[in-house]
Amino acid sequence: MTNAAPQFNFNRRRSPLTITIAILVAIGIALVSMSGFYADWLWFKSVNFTSVWSTVLITKVVLFVVAGLITASMILLNIIVAYKRRPLYVPMSIEADNLERYRAQIEPIKRWVVLGLSVVLFYFAGTSGSMLWSTWLLFKNSTTFGVKDPQFNMDISFFAFRLPFWQTLIAWGISTLVLSIIASAVVHYLYGGIRLQVREDRTTVAARVQLSVLLGGVVLLKAVAYWFDRYALALKESKLITGLTYTDVNAVLPAKAILAAIAVVCALLFFANIVRRSWVLPAAGTALLVISSVLIAGIYPGAIQQFQVKPSESSKEAPFIQRNIDATRTAYGLDDVQVSDYQATLTTSAGQLSKDAATIANIRLMDPNVLPATFRQLQQIKPYYTFPDSLDVD
């Protein structure tokens, strides 16, 4: 009984029927895709905006190619590095014997595996990148508003045009590095660079260096993400207002800054692991970051909201509500409205009210159709009283 590796023959001839079906399926997919492009082009042409259609199309194609190439290249480069740095000799063990069978199956088709993985990565990364065409165009063609945010003292155009792009770019970088870590770890484990069943030296020097650099890069980008999350609070929508609230300014903003600093320290520990032989410090730094994110960014803001804001919500949130009102007035061009008193002129004579006392007694002082909505609006921060939709009239 032998453990001979299976042989894969990629040169055998395919039947004409299989080739014909594959060609027809490809043509059908292409026609369906092109029909959407053609319909869009006809619509834009009918309104004389073909330049808009071409701009969107070119942007999608460029982003598809750029995002696909960069993502696939980064991941494949890490796979190649992990393969080139594999150990030449793997100590005999049950784990190594089990992996040897998989290595024997992969070696004859490794080029096809890499090629297929490249196509898949290029397609999915490119598709995700092309969907961000509007974010890129807003960033590329951003202009200033001439109005600064009251909290960060930055032009509002940063939040409207540039912040979404930077957040998307950071998220893309983190996801690409995470995929690179997974792919590199699989290759190192498959070829003996990572040995989980031994007590000491579970990773080779090459595996430790590569994974430390990648993990440090992820945590460093996470620190940048924490910092940009501070600015994203200006766009946060809550049940009260859109923008920062008392809890955001006094709890969430400091928490994000602290987490960014902790993440930088954690990233440095991963980079320092390049010359060390222990994962203890990076693991401790990661645990500190996770615990801090729960305590500082989760429990602490919740406690501030529950014990400081809710007992006196009207006074605590008043400055931030005023910011929202001022921004709304500025957006609608009502910030420079001149307010003047209305000089009412009375035409009634003295004693007229007493003469009409019988009629005036029947006049409603409050409209039952308007009163409930008015009270709900006045008490929208904290409802002290509730009223039915329709009031009874005595």
Q: What is the pLDDT of residue 97?
A: 60
Q: For residues 215 and 268, what is the distance between their CA atoms, to the nearest angstrom?
A: 10
Predicted pLDDT of residue 269: 94
**Closest C-alpha to 162, from 146, 141, 186:** 141
pLDDT at site 373: 78
- Residue 393: pLDDT above 80? no
- How far is residue 61's CA from residue 84's CA, in Å, rounded to a whole number? 34
Higher pLDDT, 90 or 267: 267
Query: What number is the average pLDDT over the span 331-353?
Result: 81
Backbone Cα Rg of the chain:
33
pLDDT (0 to 100) of residue 384: 65
Are the C-beta atoms of 200 and 191 separated by less than 8 Å? no
Q: Is residue 2 over pLDDT 60?
A: no
pLDDT (mean) for 297-307 = 91
pLDDT of residue 10: 44
Cα–Cα dist 12/16, whole Å: 13
Residue 383: the pLDDT is 63
Cite the DSSP H helix spans in 47-162: 50-84, 94-106, 110-130, 133-140, 156-157
pLDDT at 198: 64
- List beta partners, residue 194: 203
Weakest mean pLDDT among 103-107, 255-259, 267-271: 103-107
Cα 255 to Cα 230: distance, rounded to the nearest angstrom:
9
- pLDDT at position 1: 42
**Confidence band for 7, pLDDT divided at 50, 70 and 90:** very low
CA distances from 112 to 74, 271, 329 (A): 18, 34, 62
Instruction: Specify which of 67-76, 95-104, 242-251, 305-314 reaches the highest per-range mean pLDDT.
Output: 67-76
User: Percent of the chain, pLDDT > 70?
Assistant: 88
Per-residue pLDDT at 91: 58
CA–CA dist 88, 192 (Å, integer): 9
Instruction: Read off the pLDDT band of 89 (50, 70, 90).
Output: low
Residue 20's pLDDT band, with cuts at 50, 70 and 90, is confident
DSSP label of 389 = S
Q: What is the pLDDT of residue 176?
A: 96
